Structure 1
């Protein structure tokens, strides 16, 4: 069985209650749940949360919340991988039969069920792949980054690359912060790396990628979402 796991803790700091704040007419997390449920390859959607209100909203929109996440995995410093490992371990203890697991961030309203399917299908095509995730190109060559010194002066991050033309520099990418697919056994292996040589990217256009950490990010994401619905 292929599942989606949506991590959604209750203690968001920069945008309070971000995971369930209304976004274009429904709680933010509902968009992630809906897209996962519409995926052709996902059979169950599990929300990992420490928050009763988030749990109730997740269930209302069709997700399973078979356990509550312990406080030790719901602080500001816990990464995604330990949360997914905990969720998978709990489901296996409950007798679930698992295959591939898609970790979907609760704040990814620009993600679609089609993209989820694309990532899972890409993963299934090769036994050698460990993970498939969404990514995007940096809009400006990171090799030409600048650093500000303590006295206010400026220096090049890479003194050789700064002298080159943009078109002569290698294209670089960043994690889109949306979706990570891997076999459940890979997730359980603490040595397995999402961003490794056995992983592959599904590169998205800029209009499908938006971090949501500030109110300005939120407004831009809503505008993009509305444009995609037309």
Structure 2
């Protein structure tokens, strides 16, 4: 069994300037993901895919590898994660390095825990007909009871058919926790759909999940990190 960690970290973040190398609780954000990957003992290589020399320099200093420069067409606002991972695996294959499993770890996942990374690999290994296993968490409220605003700014039920349903009678819905995505390397290279019945869940507690896209997200993540650290819940 061989595993590679692939950490996408492009330059040019617009909503949070320098997001991937900005200090989070005193440590560059990218450094945290690299450290978790290295300390997990799950990977033969930890590779950062970037187009940015400053990010590459930090990645190397933290012990990761940067064996290629990500092309510009995969480093804009429209490049998807799956395409970035497939590109990395293809380049590594051309360099003579092949892996059975590849785990995409986001650079902005400061609440990432090794135990969940391990669960993901174990789940995938235990289900040979599945292609992926990735982090999810339950929504805090039934999505079927969501509200939206109409053109007049008034509230409307997003799913009117569930307007009178009791919350406890509705199935739990899950969201992508945006931390990690295990996959068989061939599934990544073949472009298989990530959100499909061929994927397995690694269910995280909601209080260990915070996507980081805005300054408000960042602040909330720092509050969560401090509280979890003080409570001894983080590794």
Does the pair score TM above 0.5?
A: yes
- Distance in 2 (alpha carbons) for counterparts of 1:52 and 1:138: 38
By how many angstroms is 1:141 displaced?
0.9
Cα RMSD of the aligned pairs, angstroms, is 1.1
Counterpart for residue 194 of structure 2: 194
Quote the residue 2:215 is aligned against: 215
Equivalenced residue count is: 229
Residue of structure 2 equivalent to 1:40: 41
- 4+ long deviations beyond 4 Å: none
> 1:99 Cα shift?
1.2
Q: Which residue of 1 aligns with 2:203?
A: 203
Structure 1 residue aligned with 2:115: 114
Deviations 1:142-199 (A, max 9, x none): 1011221112233211112011111111110100011000110000012x11111111
In structure 2, C-alpha distance between the alignment counterparts of 1:187 and 1:92, rounded to whole Å: 13
Matches of 1:87 and 1:218, distance apart in 2? 28
Alignment of 1:22-37 (within 5 A): 22-37=23-38
1:223 Cα shift? Answer: 2.2
Q: How does 1:118-197 map to 2 (within 5 A)?
A: 118-190=119-191, 192-197=192-197
Q: Aligned residue for 2:233?
A: none
2:106 is matched with which residue? 105
5+ residue gaps in structure 2? 231-235
SS at match of 2:135: strand
Deviations 1:46-66 (A, max 9, x none): 000000000000000010000
Partner residue in 2 for 1:61? 62
Aligned 8 A contact 2:30 2:107 in 1: yes
Tell me which residue corresponds to 2:229.
229
TM-aligned CA deviation for residue 212 of structure 1 = 1.1
Kept in 1: contact 2:34–2:46 (CA 8 A)? yes
Give CA-to-partner distance per residue, 1:31-54, whole Å, 9 cap, x none: 000000011321210000000000
More deviation, 175-184/154-163? 154-163
Q: TM-score, normalised by structure 2?
A: 0.94
